[in-house]
Amino acid sequence: MRILYLAQIVPYPLDAGARVRQYHMLQYLAQRHQVTLVCFSRPSDRPASIEHLRTLCRDVHTAPMHRAPASEALALARSLITAHPFNIVRDDRRAMKLLLSELVQRRPFDVIHADQLSMAQYGLWARRQTPVTRPAKMVLDAHNAYYLIPQRMADVARNPLMKRFLRREASLTARYESRVYRQFDDVLTVTDDDLASIRRLPGLNGRAPRFTTVPICIDASAPPVARRPGARGLLMLGGLHWPPNADATRWFVADIWPLVRAQAPDARLFIVGARPPDDIRALGDRVGIRHPDQAGDSPVAVTGYVDDPTPFLEESAMLLVALRSGGGMRVKIVEALQWGVPIVTTRIGCEGIAVSDGHDVLIADDPQTFAQSAIRLLRDRAFADRLSANGRQLVAQKYDWRSAYAALDRIYSP
């Protein structure tokens, strides 16, 4: 089949959850079909990434995406006027529409696949621009129930103005999701929890798409990380421009880290992720380090983006996922299970992943329990190793893309 695959970001390198999802999805589909990838590109994207994707796909096309304070302010104004979600309006770009119009008029596609809600508008645009011969099948990989993200962020926001904005965004997003989903033939979600939340949206009782849960998967054949015996690091890993990750970092440092340090004064905290806000940057003595040794004896290191987190994984006794908001499926948990790194997470953090507390991960939702879970992993290496072994077994059984993505065959059939 000829598939037009639309992505909001360049799906390589595999340094973010959305990229991991898109890349292995492309791998699976491109082995069976002719895939044309169309995605936004940003100034930070490397030409080598595009060239690598051309080894998978029949064609790769990009449209520029550059966000600036002026364009963000304009998008906010448009959102207030039109009552469309801000996160949808900000990605409405003429260059992408022109590119898609040219592509669909040049050659027919059997399937138009939009990845994430932000690209649904372009999938629908491409369908409208397609000459009326044989309509393309419409597939949306929704990933998450998106309205839950601003809704949960509003629950923990302290600024009254921000809380009000987030509640408005959640309401607008829920209405937008309900309206958009009805225009697709198939909608994929990454967890059954997200599917249940989507089914609660008003208006889906009538013309509803076929829903299928397909988890985010990884390459389960990769070897585990060789963690150093006696490692004392606690690792927080993930882009800090994403508000739920930034909130998790602030909560851990303010409410949990002092409890850990009181019982383990030699513990070290590694905060690894792109674009840390100024207040998080200030927690560490240097941003831009690429190896734990460069942090000296500092108890907190804030690195910014790193190409390869392996040195920090090797020096860490655990991965921390202290999320209090967000949605979907945290790929970093699945990756850490495969790496053999023990995990302490909140229930929201491991939502939708088939882990069990005390068997694959440790789950804690309050500061005292979270801190004690971290202390246990620092003190009991044998227990930590059992968690690691169980986690790797779970990934091999449920989260390898080669086997789990066979569920797509039912959707992508002539």
* Fold annotation for 233-398: Rossmann fold (3.40.50)
Give the pLDDT mean for 268-289.
89
Q: Is the pLDDT of residue 83 over 70?
A: yes
Pick from 92, 79, 198: which is nearest to 141 by CA?
Answer: 198
Token pair belonging to 233: 């690091």
- Model confidence band, residue 205 (pLDDT cutoffs 50, 70, 90): low
Q: What was the pLDDT predicted at 287?
A: 78
Residue 204 has pLDDT above 90, yes or no: no
- Report pLDDT for 206: 60
254 by Cβ neighbours in 10 Å (0-12 / 13-18 / 19+) ranks as: exposed
Q: Which of 88, 16, 2 is nearest to 45 (CA)?
A: 16
Q: How many CA atoms lie within 13 A of 153 on its CB side?
A: 25
Reduce the secondary structure of the chain to three states and give it as a string: CEEEEEECCCCCCCCCHHHHHHHHHHHHHHCCCEEEEEEEECCCCCHHHHHHHHCCCCEEEEEECCCCHHHHHHHHHHHHHHCCCHHHHCCCCHHHHHHHHHHHHHCCCCEEEEECHHHHHHHHHHHHHCCCCCCCEEEEEEECCCCHHHHHHHHHCCCHHHHHHHHHHHHHHHHHHHHHHCCCCEEEECCHHHHHHHHCCCCCCCCCCEEEECCCCECCCCCCCCCCCCCCEEEEECCCCCHHHHHHHHHHHHHHHHHHHHHCCCCEEEEECCCCCHHHHCCCCCCCCCCHHHHCCCCEEEEECCCCCHHHHHCEEEEEECCCCCCCCCHHHHHHHHHCCCEEECCCCCCCCCCCECCCEEECCCHHHHHHHHHHHHHCHHHHHHHHHHHHHHHHHHCEHHHHHHHHHHCCCC
Q: Is the pLDDT of residue 128 over 70?
A: yes
Give me the percent of the chain exceeding a pLDDT of 90: 81
Q: How high is the mean pLDDT of the chain?
A: 93
Q: What is the pLDDT of residue 340?
A: 96
Question: Does this chain's domain 2-217+400-410 share its CATH topology with 233-398?
Answer: yes
Closest CA to 63 of 10, 24, 14: 10
What pairing do the DSSP bridges indicate for beta strands 362-363 and 343-345? parallel
Per residue in 371-381, pLDDT tens?
A: 999 999 999 99
d(CA 306, CA 310): 10
* pLDDT tens, residue by residue, 12-32: 999 888 999 999 999 999 999
Q: For 268-286, what is the mean pLDDT?
A: 90
CATH of 2-217+400-410, one of 1.10.240.10, 3.40.50.2000, 3.40.50.970, 3.30.420.40: 3.40.50.2000
Domain ranges (residues) in the chain: 2-217+400-410, 233-398
Q: Choose between 202 and 195: higher pLDDT.
A: 195
